[in-house]
Structure 1
Amino acid sequence: MNTERTMLLEARAARHAALSDPSRLRIVDLLTLGDLSPTEIRTALDIPPNLINHHLNVLESVGIVARSRSEADKRRSYVHLTPTALEGLIPGLVESASRVVFVCTANSARSQLAAALWQTVSDIPAASGGTHPADAIAAGAVAAASRHDLMLTDDHPRALDEVVTATDFVVTVCDNAHEELGVTGNLHWSIPDPVRVGSDAAFDSTFTELQRRIAELASRLTPGSKETRP
């Protein structure tokens, strides 16, 4: 881990630690709506002045809050969130990727839907493959895609070996494929196989879960080359 990334992680950890106290978290909640004086914060939390001062000092030390002097009563101050108060409180970028490859066993449902969903939210290319590809895409997956106005990217399942390269960002969406590949993949999403159930509800549930996870991942991957995995 390089020095810059270590420093960013330490800064994030310090902010999370500062917000681990319920009173400090409540102070930040209040300040998202407006600026408050320490007295007003004390009234809202109903705790002693020395504790309010302690909590504000902790929040200030990690850059979450700042204080400014009142233009009216110079003896009075106001506490406000800094412009970067909430930065780093959610996971940051994972890394860059030239292409994302989604993998399941048959490449007939989950990985097909995932690749198609990915292309609706990211400019990074996507593909899919299977460790043991089926003869055709599952009818339930085709129907689910149609119900959600999604166009599938492939017209037939493909073997992973024919698709994947050493620089791809690999996401397994099937427990069997993940356990077969071991540590080869970059990420694993444990998503039940809708083909086994076969109902519209099962395929729609898979679609919704893939959509949620893909939205989260897409915001954390940047386009670009990816280092070859050993």
Structure 2
Amino acid sequence: MNIEGKSPFQARVAKYAALADPARLRIVDLLTLGDFSPMELQAELGMPSNLLSHHLRTLATTGLTIRHRSEADRRRSYVRLAAGALEGLVPAAEHGARRVLFVCTRNSARSQLAAALWQQVSEVPSTSAGTHPAERIAEGAIDVARRHGMDLEDRTPRRLDLVAGEGDFIVTVCDNAHEELTGLRGVHWSVRDPLRLGTAEAFEDAFADIAHRVNDLAPRVRAA
């Protein structure tokens, strides 16, 4: 069922119908935390790829999910919840954490912005790190933070293995970091790299994406 041209009530009915299936509800529960590739979803759910594809098509046509290609491996894609997909519905999962640790490759933009945004909305501490940290914060990240009332100038990129600690809830915010790291406790957000374009608009888009995700996740992470 395609929700285009349907009333808000009919679109809501279509979403409830899609979520009535236990497998699709489980997929959405997972996606409320972060983005998953179809292969990762298949491993989590233990179902055949053709059946998973059917469920993903149903979720997409009802406006619950969207899908895009990985920036790291173009053969790979990630599924995420569409903005506002669960308005009126309450996600089921909560997580306890000593600290939220945001990770990207260079720790120069996305992870720094995420940690700063998190500190504005949650009492759970946050920090950031990189798998291959840069020498300094990207100017575009400093500029977009300043436009939104935050200061990143005094922050320094740091290496993940020197920052990570027991009890951290890890959020990878770039595909390269997620695909490089395995077995870490946490979730993945497939946020586009603003440094690829280097424009103010690209940094604004990344900031908006991260802010939306932070506001969604923060109420569901409690201090451990």
Percent identity over the alignment? 53
Deviation at 1:153, TM superposition (A): 8.4
Q: Which amino acid aligns with 1:210?
A: I
Give 1:220 shift: 0.7
The size of the alignment, in residue pairs, is: 142
- Cα distance change of structure 1 residues 161 and 149 upon mapping to structure 2, 3 Å threshold: same
Cα gap change, 1:183/1:154 in structure 2, threshold over 3 Å: closer, same or farther? farther
Distance apart, 1:152 and its partner CA: 2.9
| CA deviation vs aligned residue, 1:186-224 (integer Å, no higher than 9, x gap) | 100001110111000000000000000000100111112
Cα distance, 1:183 vs structure 2: 3.0
Once the two structures are superposed, the pairs formed by residues 59-78 of structure 1 within 5 Å of their partners are: none
Determine the C-alpha separation between the residues in 1 that align with 2:185 and 2:196: 24
The answer to whether the 8 Å contact 1:98/1:223 transfers is yes
Which amino acid is the alignment partner of residue 121 of structure 1? V
1:157-172, aligned counterparts within 5 Å? Answer: 157-172=157-172
Counterpart-to-counterpart distance in 2, 1:131 and 1:158: 9
Cα distance in 2 between the residues matched to 1:154 and 1:100:
20
Please state how far the C-alpha of 1:103 moved relative to its aligned partner. 0.1
SS of equivalent to 2:201:
helix
Q: Give the aligned residue type for 2:173.
A: V
Q: Give the whole-Å Cα distance in 1 for the aligned partners of 2:196 and 2:137.
A: 14
Counterpart contact for 1:119–1:126, Cα < 8 Å: yes
Aligned to 1:106: 106
Q: Which amino acid aligns with 2:169?
A: F
Q: Which runs of 4+ in 1 moved over 4 A?
A: none
The answer for unaligned runs of 5 or more in structure 1 is 1-15, 21-87, 225-230
User: Does structure 1 conserve the Cα–Cα contact (< 8 Å) formed by 2:115 and 2:128?
Assistant: yes
Tell me if the contact between 2:142 and 2:153 (Cα under 8 Å) persists in the aligned partners.
Answer: no
Deviation (angstroms), 1:92: 3.0
Counting only pairs closer than 5 Å after superposition, residues 2-81 of structure 1 correspond to structure 2 as none
Write the mapping of 1:1-230 to structure 2, written as runs, cut at 5 A. Answer: 89-152=89-152, 155-224=155-224
TM-score (norm 2): 0.60
Alpha-carbon separation, structure 1, partners of 2:97 and 2:153: 19
TM-score, normalising length from structure 1?
0.58
In 2, Cα distance between equivalents of 1:153 and 1:90 = 37
Cα offset for 1:154? 5.6
| Structure 1 CA distance for aligned equivalents of residues 151 and 213 of structure 2 | 19
Question: Superposition RMSD on alpha carbons, in Å?
Answer: 2.1
Q: Distance between the aligned counterparts of 1:153 and 1:186, measured in 2?
A: 27
The aligned residue for residue 34 of structure 1 is none
Letter paired with 1:96: G
